[in-house]
Amino acid sequence: MPQPEPVVVVGAGLAGAKAVETLRDEGHDGPVVLLGAEPERPYERPPLSKQYLSGGAPREGAFVHDEGWYAGHDVELRTGVRATALDPADHRLELGTGEVLRYGRLLLTTGAAPRRLGAPGADLAGVRYLRTLPDADGLRAELSAGDRRVVVVGAGWIGLEVAAAARSYGNEVAVVEPLPTPLHRVLGPEMGEVFARLHRAHGVDLRTGTGVRELVGVGGRVAAVRLDPDGELPADLVVVGVGVVPETGLAAAAGLDVGDGVLVDAALRTSAPDVFAAGDVAAAFSPLHGRHVRVEHWANALNQGPAAARSALGREVTYDRVPYFFTDQYDLGMEYSGLGAPGERVVCRGDPEGGEFVAFWLDAEDRVTAGMNVNVWDVTDAVQALVRARQPVSTEHLADPDVPLADLAGG
């Protein structure tokens, strides 16, 4: 009997690893190939800017599966191999090695890559990005010296987490952000200010409303950051965290529908037959939001990978989870559920100055679009129920800690 064509998963990150795990859990016993451009087996990225970077967790803790798991589950894991071209009509995939693979079903879990800084001098030694385990190894080695002048470009999640890790070793840290507050586009000014206060309280020199004009080098290594409109910061190390770009090249060149990510329906099917996409690369139609949504969240990779695998096996799938994100910085732990818009009204339950509160974003009809619990735990289900309900809520009740959140989701 000829072997059936394999299910090929392109991208050995969290979404890809969870997809192959699900194929086996669902009883698929045909061949499975997991291709990864990185030399490492799949690992999780959140520890790279948190526990691992600050020295509180071992490198080994980041991996999704034990080393022997793939062979043990008859998954052909091929690391250090990039897929270079896709021919969906012929069910063929070309690899960087020159090989051609035929597939029965293909899953694209190619993730995202850091956006590069465009400023002059951005290619000097000492300018770093943080996406991969080797990036984190290098950064950790420098930061742990504790005597560096670190300039972080961009006060997004990665930039702020790196700033916190850098401070934990005692380095001097400045953060440069062109917008008026950290996390301005995600959280808006009020909640962005919570993170501004947090970092300033921990000794970070936070420069908002400030861009980078150029990086100045001495002997080929970065020595200072020239600011826009004015000023200069000395720097032994610059860490750039200015967002990521989805890895859509393979899909776009193959003629698949691509927007801000590979466009997939709620069953995570691309526009090409037998090709699915999940994780950071996928812009999935969200029945909850009534549009395509692409999020760069750990939980999305964790859950969409398995959903795409089930869909590829012909199971009935509707991916309709509420987006969920978390961060840890110093003694602040937070979870964010939903998709708020920066201009929306924010209502708080608890006092942001006190460090323990839940913030809610409300649209023009007083419907909760997102909630963020800061150092308050076990409320995610209730927050997500409110987001999912899409019903106007009483803002008075929302702000009142004596009214159980669970009572509000009913409208």
Ligand X SMILES: Cc1cc2nc3c(=O)[nH]c(=O)nc-3n(C[C@H](O)[C@H](O)[C@H](O)COP(=O)(O)OP(=O)(O)OC[C@H]3O[C@@H](n4cnc5c(N)ncnc54)[C@H](O)[C@@H]3O)c2cc1C
Question: Nearest distance from residue 121's CB to ligand X, in Å?
Answer: 24
State yes or no: residue 112 binds ligand X (CB under 6 A): yes
Q: Residues 76 to 95: which contact ligand X by CB under 6 A? A: 82-83
Site string for ligand X, 22-61 (x = CB under 6 A): -------------xxxx------xx-xx------------
Question: Nearest distance from residue 120's CB to ligand X, in Å?
Answer: 26
Among 181, 248, 286, 327, binds ligand X (CB under 6 A): 327
Site string for ligand X, 152-191 (x = CB under 6 A): ------x---------------------------------
Q: Where are the alpha helices (DSSP H) in 254-405?
A: 298-312, 380-389, 395-399
State yes or no: residue 289 binds ligand X (CB under 6 A): no
Pairing relation of β-strands 105-108 and 7-10?
Answer: parallel
For residues 192 and 183, the answer to whether their CB atoms sit within 8 Å is yes
For residues 361 and 374, the answer to whether their CB atoms sit within 8 Å is no
Question: Nearest distance from residue 281's CB to ligand X, in Å?
Answer: 6
Handedness of CA 261, 267, 273, 276 (dihedral sign): positive
Q: Name the region of 136 (left: φ>0; alpha: ψ -120 to 50; beta: rest).
A: alpha
- Residue 320 burial by Cβ neighbours in a 10 Å radius (0-12, 13-18, 19+): middle
For residues 97 and 10, the answer to whether their CB atoms sit within 8 Å is no
State yes or no: residue 143 binds ligand X (CB under 6 A): no
State yes or no: residue 109 binds ligand X (CB under 6 A): yes
The residue (of 19 and 362) whose beta carbon lies closer to ligand X is 19
State yes or no: residue 313 binds ligand X (CB under 6 A): no
In angstroms, rounded to a whole number, what is the distance separating the alpha carbons of residues 23 and 25? 6
For residues 384 and 322, the answer to whether their CB atoms sit within 8 Å is yes
The residue (of 49 and 210) whose beta carbon lies closer to ligand X is 49
State yes or no: residue 294 binds ligand X (CB under 6 A): no
The residue (of 47 and 192) whose beta carbon lies closer to ligand X is 47
State yes or no: residue 338 binds ligand X (CB under 6 A): no
Pairing relation of β-strands 332-338 and 324-329?
Answer: antiparallel
Helix (H) or strand (E) holding 102, with range, is strand 100-102
Question: Which residues sit at the interface with ligand X, rule CB under 6 A?
Answer: 10-16, 35-38, 45-46, 48-49, 82-83, 109-112, 130-131, 158, 247, 250, 279-280, 296-299, 301, 325-327
